[in-house]
Chain A
Amino acid sequence: MPKPVDLLQGTLEMLILKAVSLGPQHGYGVLLRINQISGERLDIQQGSLYPALYRLEHQGWIQSEWGESENNRRAKFYSLTPAGRKRLGQETAAWNRMTEVIASVLAATPEEV
């Protein structure tokens, strides 16, 4: 397995939003989904998941509902709110801008300086 990337602070919430945007999911499922989409290169600390979920819900980006899991057990499902969808878009754009800028700085050759 390739070396897991260390997660920058604040990006966890962005990833959760993305994971949830693909469809309502419970906490464990969100974890699995992120792991899956990243091709198993991202391993989230289990402990930091739920505080992040609660924070996002408190701020109104996601909403929760109790439902039944795939094996008929009671679980809390999270889904994206319209505000959350907008937020995800903003965060993604901001992230892309930042990475582009940093990448260009890092790619500078001696001649360009």
Chain B
Amino acid sequence: MRRWGTRLRSWWKTLSGARRLNTEMDDEMQFHLDCYRRDLIARGLSETEATAQAQREFGSAQFHKEDCREALGLRLLGELWADLRYGLRMMRHDRALTVAAVASLALGIGANTAMFSVAKTVIFDSLRVKHPEELRLLGWDFPGREQPVPFLWGNAPGSTNGNFTAASFSYIGYKRIAEKRDVIDGLAALNLAHRLPVSVGSASAEMAFTQLVSGNYFDVLGVSAARGRTLRSSDEIVGAPAVTVISDQFWSKRFGRSPSALGSILRVSGKPVTIVGIAAENFRGTHMDETPSLFMPLTLQPQVDASFDGSQLDNMGTWWLQLLVRTKPSVSDARLRAELNPILKIIARETLPQLKPDKAQRFDLLILPGSRGEDLLQRRLARPTYILWALSALVLLLACTNVANLLLARGVTRQRELAIRLALGASRGRLIRQMLAEGGLLAGTAAAIGLAAAYLLHSLMPAFLSGQLPTTFDWQVCTFTLTIALATTLFFGLAPAAQNPAGVSNLASTSRMTASRRKLNLRRALVAAQVAFAALLLVAGGLFSRTLFGLLEANLGVDTEHLLLVNTNFSENRFPGEKRVEAQRRLGEQLSHLPGVRAAAVGRDAIGSGNDFTHQLQRRPEGRKWSVRENTVDLGFFEAAGIPLLRGRAFTKQDTATSPRVVVINERLARLVFPGEDPIGQKFSGGTEVIGICADSRLGDLRDDAPVALYDPFTQVKFWGDEVFYVRTTGSPENATAAVRKVFRDFDRDLPIMSIRSQRQVVADSLTQERLFAVLAGAFAVLSLLLGCVGVYGVTQFSVVRRTAEIGIRMALGAQRHTVVAAVLREGLVLVAVGLALGIGATMAASRFIAAMLYGVQPTDALTMGAAGATLLIAALLALWQPAWRAANISPLDALRHE
């Protein structure tokens, strides 16, 4: 061990003073020579004779210095340095090749790095809290497809194996489970973060992302406050002072990081709340997606959160909280589940009276991983991320094969050089080292450029994916890049070296033929692979583009041209009960009086909102139940939205809270529930009467067809949440935006405008992911086409050059030019055809992975594949043009002279 220490010191000494070392070695050996010379003279030789003999017997000083350097362990370093310098010279010499190789590699590496940084956030990263691997999310499942609790808030993990699965609990349930201190280190409850109107000082309210949490939330996560304090259990008592902890980003944005933020008072939904702390800077909440700006105790829910109807703290039927458990290290998941499951069953039995006791027993607790918190991101984005990553990996493979091909092409000239070096005594290992150094130089340059490109790209990516994605670009990403660079280096270093079997020591050109035949076949295989990759990417690009266009042009069922949508929220606190409908109507009237506005009305849901409001219907008690979509609307809605009313009537002022309950249904519902009958005048159980039928239109998600839907009036339905004002304009909706804003401001300063967009814009915005895919896949497709063409061109050119003599002889013997051209084209097209077949085959195999992301096209769509194939063939023909032309113009005399 100690010897390594001395060796390292010795290395350091020599490295840091290379020139000094050289001089010293010279001095020392000169001294030696002088001494020996003196001794020889003393023995009787003349001066010249002594010098000659001394020199002869000592040998070459240069040689000894080399040996000395090797003794010092410097040889490897020296050779590496020489290799790199040589590699740089070769790169400068072959500028075109270098630029092409580095550019294509950089693109491949850059794309993959960018995708990796996204994948890290979406799939791999954990919460930035203490020991995230100790956290668990509690869930449950219940047999059957129906929701067993009256109100469920939160994103369900989805129903697995036919059961209904969810991860939400009631407040009472949370309290009961939290009592189990023996197996739980800590239990934090949180609700689904959403936007609430928050005003700072006298400024008007803006919507901020907030989350209600239990008092021990920060303790359980192990997150401290940067300033002030975090929430405490004592904050989570009904009647305690209203306090909040704000996030670091909110502090920066709204308070400019001023210390006066602590202790100042915010108004959340109009209610005053005091800021008692600012969370640590790197804390991003448990919502992998976006960081909540405000954290407030659960007990504030009745006052600040109008999303619910009154206080949910005592409501046993509302299961609205997610529970994050920090386990004790000694407690296994199985034990945790075994201990908590009985409690869940008791809770179900005691707090869900509508369930029969034996049914309540069938609630089953699930322990889900909590290291990524509520992890909505992964569910939503995992598949798209993987697909994009696969596409960019393909691009990288394409680039690699391209560069390998280019290097192999250059290898023909290098063969002589390598043969000479082998003849001069270089070992194969030495040559391989040089190849690796050159490959490393290429890959290293490409990686550096790729990293820079990825850094620029990653600021664009989040905008596409979800608008708020905090993709990280840290050392792990850089390590990933370096790993890819290393892998490609090895690929290039070893591939050409493998082409030099047993050291070609024969310098004669006859060996060139056989060796280059093998090379040609390898290159042909590479190009076929390239064409296959290109085919895959072309098909993918085509499919995604068609999906995007399909969605953009989809018939939505409403007139989308002249519609402006304004999202707002009349909070329950400020507009309770009747006052709300009054205020909505007043505002609607003011809007409709604007010049350029034909009609204005309010509704609850809009196209592209992603919402899913449902309503249960029965024609008779104990009869069949239907679950239909519901949109709550007010007077003039159908006119404003542009949904034609086919029969009957819409709502009027006469439909009030006390008058008979009425609804308007759409065509699909009419056909479904009243087949063959006239629905007008019919009643559902509960007495609701159908008064009109309207045309089908889409709602919520763009990809789904128009749902079975009914419309009910605001006056007769109790609801909470946001509203959407439909403003139908005569001209372009964008022109009316400023005027609409002014009307809102004049109506009520504190009424927040969450968004104000034209219907076209809403549709476009909801398609950001599709746009990203279409753009990226399209770009990759174009790139792959280019690279594929270069590959086909290169290999055909090589083949023609190789066979120059043969072609010349054939032409001298009478072959026609067009025969030669045909032969060249045939050779190239066969290659492309093989590659195409492989590529299409691969596409069919991989198609099911992207099926879920497509719209309006099947993954095995023949038209797209046909178009891709045709494009490739045309491009290949263009690439083959030059080599064919060259072949046709070979003069037999020149060919025979050509060696």
Q: Is B29 an interface residue (CB 8 A)?
A: yes
> For the side of the interface on B, what is the size category?
20 to 34
Known: A47-B59, A47-B63. A73 touches B71 (CB 8 A): no
Bound Cα distance A74, B64 (Å): 20
Chain B contacts of A51 at CB under 8 A? 64, 67-68, 70-71
Q: Which of A55, A60, A75 contacts B28 (CB 8 A)?
A: A75
Chain B contacts of A27 at CB under 8 A? 28, 31-32
Q: Is B656 an interface residue (CB 8 A)?
A: no
B73 touches A50 (CB 8 A): no
B58 touches A54 (CB 8 A): no
Q: Is A46 an interface residue (CB 8 A)?
A: yes
Q: Is B35 an interface residue (CB 8 A)?
A: yes
Bound Cα distance A50, B31 (Å): 12
Chain B contacts of A54 at CB under 8 A? 68, 71-72
Chain B contacts of A52 at CB under 8 A? 71
Chain B contacts of A99 at CB under 8 A? none
A50 touches B24 (CB 8 A): no
Q: Is A104 an interface residue (CB 8 A)?
A: no
Kindly specify which of B3-11, B142-150, B277-285, B798-806 makes contact with the partner chain: B3-11
A28 touches B73 (CB 8 A): no
B3 touches A50 (CB 8 A): no
B29 touches A50 (CB 8 A): yes
Chain A contacts of B64 at CB under 8 A? 47, 50-51
Q: Which of A50, A59, A73, A75 contacts B7 (CB 8 A)?
A: A59
Q: Is A85 an interface residue (CB 8 A)?
A: no
Chain B contacts of A83 at CB under 8 A? 2
B28 touches A73 (CB 8 A): no
Determine the residue in chain A with the shortest Cβ distance to B28: A76
Bound Cα distance A28, B33 (Å): 9
Determine the residue in chain A with the shortest Cβ distance to B9: A60
Bound Cα distance A83, B10 (Å): 15
Bound Cα distance A28, B39 (Å): 11
Q: Is A69 an interface residue (CB 8 A)?
A: yes
Chain A contacts of B32 at CB under 8 A? 26-28, 46, 50
Residue-by-residue, is B1-34 near A (CB-CB < 8 Å gives 1, otherwise 0)?
0110011001000000000000011011101101
Known: A27-B32, A46-B57, A69-B31. A76 touches B24 (CB 8 A): yes
Q: Which residues of A in the span 33-81 have a Cβ within 8 Å of any Cβ on B? A: 46-47, 50-52, 54-55, 57-60, 66, 69, 73-76
Chain B contacts of A26 at CB under 8 A? 28, 31-32
> Would you call the interface of chain A mostly helix, strand, loop, or mixed?
helix
A58 touches B31 (CB 8 A): no
Residue-by-residue, is B53-78 near A (CB-CB < 8 Å gives 1, otherwise 0)?
00001110001100110111100000
Bound Cα distance A58, B72 (Å): 6
Q: Is B720 an interface residue (CB 8 A)?
A: no
Q: Is B36 an interface residue (CB 8 A)?
A: yes
Whole-angstrom distance between the Cβ of A80 and the nearest chain B Cβ: 14
> For the side of the interface on A, what is the size category?
20 to 34
Chain B contacts of A46 at CB under 8 A? 32, 36, 57-59
Q: Which of B2, B31, B70, B73 contacts A75 (CB 8 A)?
A: B31
Bound Cα distance A46, B32 (Å): 10
Bound Cα distance A52, B72 (Å): 10
Determine the residue in chain B with the shortest Cβ distance to A46: B58
Bound Cα distance A73, B30 (Å): 11
Chain A contacts of B27 at CB under 8 A? 74, 76
Chain B contacts of A47 at CB under 8 A? 58-59, 63-64, 67
Residue-by-residue, is A80-112 near B (CB-CB < 8 Å gives 1, otherwise 0)?
000100000000000000000000000000000
Known: A28-B36, A46-B58, A50-B64. A57 touches B10 (CB 8 A): yes
Whole-angstrom distance between the Cβ of A64 and the nearest chain B Cβ: 9
Whole-angstrom distance between the Cβ of B73 and the nearest chain A Cβ: 7
Bound Cα distance A76, B28 (Å): 7
Bound Cα distance A112, B612 (Å): 103
A60 touches B6 (CB 8 A): yes
Chain A contacts of B57 at CB under 8 A? 46
Whole-angstrom distance between the Cβ of B72 and the nearest chain A Cβ: 5
B59 touches A58 (CB 8 A): no
Whole-angstrom distance between the Cβ of B70 and the nearest chain A Cβ: 7
Bound Cα distance A26, B34 (Å): 13
Bound Cα distance A100, B35 (Å): 38
Whole-angstrom distance between the Cβ of A34 and the nearest chain B Cβ: 14
Q: Which of A28, A57, A59, A66 contacts B3 (CB 8 A)?
A: A59
Q: Which of B24, B58, B73 contacts A58 (CB 8 A)?
A: B73
Whole-angstrom distance between the Cβ of B76 and the nearest chain A Cβ: 14
Determine the residue in chain B with the shortest Cβ distance to A60: B6
B31 touches A28 (CB 8 A): yes
Most chain B beta-carbon neighbours within 10 Å: one of A26, A27, A50, A59: A50
Chain B contacts of A66 at CB under 8 A? 24
Bound Cα distance A74, B27 (Å): 8
Whole-angstrom distance between the Cβ of A57 and the nearest chain B Cβ: 7
Chain A contacts of B29 at CB under 8 A? 50
Chain A contacts of B58 at CB under 8 A? 46-47
A58 touches B28 (CB 8 A): no
A50 touches B59 (CB 8 A): no
Residue-by-residue, is B34-52 near A (CB-CB < 8 Å gives 1, otherwise 0)?
1110000000000000000
Bound Cα distance A83, B5 (Å): 13
Whole-angstrom distance between the Cβ of B109 and the nearest chain A Cβ: 39
Bound Cα distance A37, B542 (Å): 88
Bound Cα distance A14, B842 (Å): 67
A55 touches B71 (CB 8 A): yes
Whole-angstrom distance between the Cβ of B15 and the nearest chain A Cβ: 13
Bound Cα distance A26, B29 (Å): 11
Chain A contacts of B36 at CB under 8 A? 28, 46
Whole-angstrom distance between the Cβ of B18 and the nearest chain A Cβ: 14
Whole-angstrom distance between the Cβ of A79 and the nearest chain B Cβ: 15
Q: Which residues of B in the span 616-640 have a Cβ within 8 Å of any Cβ on A? A: none
Bound Cα distance A77, B7 (Å): 20
B31 touches A59 (CB 8 A): no
Whole-angstrom distance between the Cβ of A52 and the nearest chain B Cβ: 8
B63 touches A50 (CB 8 A): no
Determine the residue in chain B with the shortest Cβ distance to A81: B6
Whole-angstrom distance between the Cβ of A97 and the nearest chain B Cβ: 23
Chain B contacts of A76 at CB under 8 A? 24, 27-28, 31
Chain B contacts of A28 at CB under 8 A? 31-32, 35-36
Bound Cα distance A50, B29 (Å): 8
Whole-angstrom distance between the Cβ of A20 and the nearest chain B Cβ: 15
B7 touches A58 (CB 8 A): yes
Determine the residue in chain A with the shortest Cβ distance to B27: A74
Chain A contacts of B2 at CB under 8 A? 60, 83
Bound Cα distance A73, B38 (Å): 13
Bound Cα distance A47, B25 (Å): 13
Bound Cα distance A47, B27 (Å): 16
Whole-angstrom distance between the Cβ of B156 and the nearest chain A Cβ: 68
Bound Cα distance A55, B67 (Å): 10
Whole-angstrom distance between the Cβ of A92 and the nearest chain B Cβ: 19
Whole-angstrom distance between the Cβ of B68 and the nearest chain A Cβ: 4
Bound Cα distance A52, B71 (Å): 8
Residue-by-residue, is B731-756 near A (CB-CB < 8 Å gives 1, otherwise 0)?
00000000000000000000000000
Bound Cα distance A47, B36 (Å): 13
Bound Cα distance A8, B63 (Å): 22
Bound Cα distance A74, B28 (Å): 9
Determine the residue in chain A with the shortest Cβ distance to B59: A47
Bound Cα distance A99, B152 (Å): 91
Most chain A beta-carbon neighbours within 10 Å: one of B32, B59, B72: B32
Q: Which residues of A in the span 1-44 have a Cβ within 8 Å of any Cβ on B? A: 26-28
A-B contact pairs, 11 of them (CB 8 A): A27-B32, A46-B58, A47-B58, A50-B25, A50-B68, A51-B64, A51-B67, A54-B68, A54-B72, A58-B7, A74-B31
Q: Which residues of A are at the interface with B, using a C-beta cutoff of 8 A? A: 26-28, 46-47, 50-52, 54-55, 57-60, 66, 69, 73-76, 83
Given contacts A28-B35, A46-B36, A58-B6, 12 further A-B contacts (CB under 8 A): A26-B28, A26-B31, A27-B32, A50-B25, A50-B29, A51-B64, A57-B10, A58-B72, A60-B3, A74-B27, A74-B31, A75-B31
